[in-house]
A and B are shown apart, each in its own frame.
Chain A
Amino acid sequence: MAEITYLEAIREALFEEMERDPNVFCLGEDIGAYGGAFKVTEGLQAKFGDQRVIDTPISEAAIIGAAAGASHMGLRPVAELQFIDFISCGYDMLTNYVATARYRAFLPCPMVVRGPSGGYVRGGPFHSQNPEAAFLHTPGLKIVYPATASDAKGLMKAAIRDDDCVLFFEHKYLYRRVKDVMPDGDHVVPIGKARVAREGTDVSIITYAATVWKALEAAEQLQTEDGISVEVIDLRTLLPMDDDAIVATVKKTNRVMVVHEDTRTGGIAGEITARINETCFEWLDAPVLRVTAHDVPLPYSPPLEDFVLPQVSDIVTVARHLARY
């Protein structure tokens, strides 16, 4: 069977889920006839009609709020944000209404909020963001952020079937750069389970999304040039976090770094470091180190963006430091 891209894998998941369940529908800006800014929903409206693939006004709060209301009634909305940067316009609706609804009112919100995320694409401050950490702090939401085409499909199907709201971050750098042959049959990847992207024994890299590929590239270089065996953990789901997978790799290599594309302060790497500190401090042979973006809005010009974002060379440098600590 032919390989398909990360973007096509998401589209395939949407097609299959809309075919499987008449309660699934999509709404968002320019997703219908146009097929979305990145063409993720291309062909969806032609197949399912404009009642199930709804073009909306530029109203992120209304898109998320209306999805929540429809989800209370048993529908399963998939809301597209044209760029995930605009999720901040619906922040109140997500954190105050959606995330609390089951707990305070016993009203489930089985809905997906998805959108293109991340940098390395010269998108500048408002088309490159990684706002996942802003929602990691909100009980009631789930967050997934796949790195591979296969996981993008399987996690999208799981997200649509989940009985709570799932924020589905899609890395736009990976949209057309990574491919997989999709597994046969109903391919569903469980939410909350990390993946060992590369086995290793000397140093662990815990990461997710685009930096999984940076970590794999660094691991190859470290093996070849230094003989350092690197294990790469792809978290896939950030909330709930797979603590078992984190603890397992800490106990295996005893030297750990956390890599993410998002900024550093108050970020997910800090949370992972705290969890390691609380659960397996005595297994560490070195401090947990972070490789992240610098704490600035993401600039546009290539020399600036490349400097701010984590690169393969950063991961190699820090891994060497850890290995000889």
Chain B
Amino acid sequence: MEFPAHSLDLDAMLAAPPGADAALARAPRPHADKLDRAQRLALYRHMRMTRTLEERLVALYRQTKVIGGLFRSLGQEADAVGSAFALERRDIMSPLIRNMGSMLVKGATPLEILRQYMAKGNSPTRGRELNIHFGDLERGFVGQISHLGDMIPVMAGIALSFKMRGEDRVVLVYIGDGATSTGAFHEGVNFAAVQQVPLVVVVENNGYAYSTPTGRQTAANSFMDKALGYGIAGVQADGNDVLAVYDVTKAAVDRARAGSGPTLVELITYRRKGHAEHDNQSYVPTGEIEWWAAHNDPIDRFVAWLTTHDSVSADEFAEIDASVSREIDAATDEADLSPMPDALDALDGIYADPPTIAPHWYREGVRAAVDIHERPASWGTHDG
């Protein structure tokens, strides 16, 4: 069966699918080999949490408790979790819409994510922003905006501040295959390269930008190759092998920390769900999604690895999965009971001074005008 290749290296991957043999192969991984069993189980738990929490969000979406769009990272859990795991707590990263796993590694909680999706008043953005568009500098993650590419210059600026102050901190920014086509990507990577700031740019090549396949996004053979044009290091890894992802990202983070400047890390993965929950994926060739689900699921692959090399038993996996479900159940109950925002909070905090603005005179004392559980009929055309 043939599939549209999104890079030459993916061709090779598809020619030799990482089935049972590949999953059991133990390639040398200088950084990943230093992880201990507990850390590997933590990687597994973050990946499982990502998938199960997103499944819960699907249920809540169908109950209209998720007010806006829902964005899945099914099949991409390894690239999100493995890359973020290479950061220290003091390092700062900026996720994309399919990096819930990265945020969980950085300390975002299921309760925060559920409240955020459910537009609650005590969500991290107090109901101002959607889905996983939120951050916390203390825990080291900055919320993205929908204008793809913009986070690269912003994160380059955070990295610049670390360089200027001599702080031992690294910045990691995610970008998709599609957003590498933006001007902001080019300006940001070039700026970071010239300034030699401690920045790691992770290009998640998941085959599609909304409905557009990678071949219509770039004529380059790989995104890794683009690094050459900026004079920075470029590396590529199998994004569905969590240890390979960790290994390649950790090397890039170490380079940045040592003052050797930015690295572009291309992770090859596959988006098994649509752009958002409404997307029926009519543009995907028949059988492609099923192939990835059957032969190259990042969690299945890691389970096989852990079973073989760490002797993780079925009972041990079941115990972890049950603890994930218990945590999500408790968080769902708490998020569901959380209050919606006070409408007047909408006018607060646009500036430090003045801290709030006055409502229009004809809105004095008037509450929100629409049903809070109403989802606009036009939903499904917006960008993440």
Chain A residues within 8 Å of B, Cβ to Cβ: 25, 51-52, 54, 56-57, 59, 61-75, 77, 92-93, 96-97, 100, 102-108, 139-140, 142, 162-164, 240
Q: Cα distance A56–B194 when bound, in Å? A: 8
Q: Which residue in A68, A104, A162, A240 is a CB contact (below 8 Å) of B128?
A: A104
Q: Cα distance A97–B160 when bound, in Å? A: 18
Whether B150 and A25, one on each chain, are in contact in the complex, defined by CB atoms closer than 8 angstroms, is no
Whether A67 and B150, one on each chain, are in contact in the complex, defined by CB atoms closer than 8 angstroms, is no
Output the nearest chain A residue to B158 by Cβ-Cβ distance.
A69
Output the nearest chain A residue to B163 by Cβ-Cβ distance.
A51
B351 in contact (CB, < 8 A): yes
Most chain B beta-carbon neighbours within 10 Å: one of A59, A64, A77? A59
Q: Which 6 A-B pairs have the closest CB atoms?
A: A69-B157, A65-B153, A66-B157, A163-B352, A62-B187, A59-B187
Output the nearest chain B residue to A25 by Cβ-Cβ distance.
B164
21 pairs of residues in contact across A and B, judged by CB atoms under 8 Å: A56-B194, A57-B190, A62-B153, A62-B156, A62-B188, A65-B153, A65-B156, A65-B184, A66-B153, A66-B156, A68-B154, A69-B154, A69-B156, A69-B157, A70-B164, A72-B158, A96-B146, A96-B147, A102-B349, A104-B143, A163-B352
Chain B positions within 8 Å of A75 at CB level: 161, 164
Q: Cα distance A107–B350 when bound, in Å? A: 11
Whether A51 and B154, one on each chain, are in contact in the complex, defined by CB atoms closer than 8 angstroms, is no
Whether A105 and B153, one on each chain, are in contact in the complex, defined by CB atoms closer than 8 angstroms, is no
Q: Cα distance A100–B128 when bound, in Å? A: 10
CB interface residues, B 136-195, toward A, < 8 Å: 137, 142-143, 145-147, 150, 152-162, 164, 183-184, 187-188, 190-191, 194-195
Q: Cα distance A168–B183 when bound, in Å? A: 25
Q: Cα distance A217–B295 when bound, in Å? A: 80
Most chain B beta-carbon neighbours within 10 Å: one of A67, A70, A163? A70
Besides A92-B147, A103-B349, 9 other A-B contacts (C-beta < 8 A): A70-B158, A72-B142, A96-B150, A102-B350, A104-B128, A104-B133, A105-B143, A106-B125, A106-B349
Q: Cα distance A105–B142 when bound, in Å? A: 8
Whether A57 and B191, one on each chain, are in contact in the complex, defined by CB atoms closer than 8 angstroms, is yes
B36 in contact (CB, < 8 A): no
Output the nearest chain B residue to A52 by Cβ-Cβ distance.
B164
Separation in Å of the A234 CB from the closest CB of chain B?
A: 22
Separation in Å of the A21 CB from the closest CB of chain B?
A: 14
B327 in contact (CB, < 8 A): no
Knowing A104-B128, A104-B129 touch, does A97 contact B191 (C-beta < 8 A)?
A: no
Separation in Å of the A312 CB from the closest CB of chain B?
A: 37
Whether B351 and A93, one on each chain, are in contact in the complex, defined by CB atoms closer than 8 angstroms, is no
Separation in Å of the A168 CB from the closest CB of chain B?
A: 16
Q: Cα distance A298–B35 when bound, in Å? A: 64
Q: Cα distance A66–B158 when bound, in Å? A: 7
Q: Cα distance A139–B356 when bound, in Å? A: 12
Whether B191 and A66, one on each chain, are in contact in the complex, defined by CB atoms closer than 8 angstroms, is yes
Q: Cα distance A107–B125 when bound, in Å? A: 11
Q: Cα distance A68–B146 when bound, in Å? A: 16
Most chain A beta-carbon neighbours within 10 Å: one of B137, B154, B156? B154
Separation in Å of the B356 CB from the closest CB of chain A?
A: 11
Chain A positions within 8 Å of B159 at CB level: 69
Separation in Å of the A102 CB from the closest CB of chain B?
A: 6
Most chain A beta-carbon neighbours within 10 Å: one of B135, B153, B188? B153
Knowing A57-B187, A93-B150, A104-B133 touch, does A68 contact B351 (C-beta < 8 A)?
A: no
Q: Chain B, 112-131, contact with A by CB distance < 8 Å: what is the 0/1 string? A: 00000000000001001100
Whether B350 and A104, one on each chain, are in contact in the complex, defined by CB atoms closer than 8 angstroms, is no
Q: Cα distance A142–B353 when bound, in Å? A: 11
Whether A67 and B157, one on each chain, are in contact in the complex, defined by CB atoms closer than 8 angstroms, is yes
Q: Which residue in A69, A93, A162, A164 is a CB contact (below 8 Å) of B184?
A: A93
Output the nearest chain A residue to B188 by Cβ-Cβ distance.
A62
Chain A positions within 8 Å of B161 at CB level: 69-70, 73-75
B223 in contact (CB, < 8 A): no
Output the nearest chain A residue to B169 by Cβ-Cβ distance.
A73
Output the nearest chain A residue to B193 by Cβ-Cβ distance.
A57
B302 in contact (CB, < 8 A): no
Separation in Å of the B166 CB from the closest CB of chain A?
A: 10
B270 in contact (CB, < 8 A): no
Whether A104 and B187, one on each chain, are in contact in the complex, defined by CB atoms closer than 8 angstroms, is no
Q: Cα distance A64–B160 when bound, in Å? A: 13
Q: Cα distance A214–B172 when bound, in Å? A: 52
B208 in contact (CB, < 8 A): no
Output the nearest chain A residue to B183 by Cβ-Cβ distance.
A61
Q: Which residue in B143, B191, B352 is a CB contact (below 8 Å) of A59?
A: B191
Separation in Å of the A307 CB from the closest CB of chain B?
A: 36
B246 in contact (CB, < 8 A): no
Whether B133 and A56, one on each chain, are in contact in the complex, defined by CB atoms closer than 8 angstroms, is no
Knowing A25-B164, A68-B157, A73-B161 touch, does A97 contact B188 (C-beta < 8 A)?
A: no
Whether B160 and A70, one on each chain, are in contact in the complex, defined by CB atoms closer than 8 angstroms, is yes
Q: Cα distance A98–B154 when bound, in Å? A: 10
Q: Cα distance A45–B162 when bound, in Å? A: 20
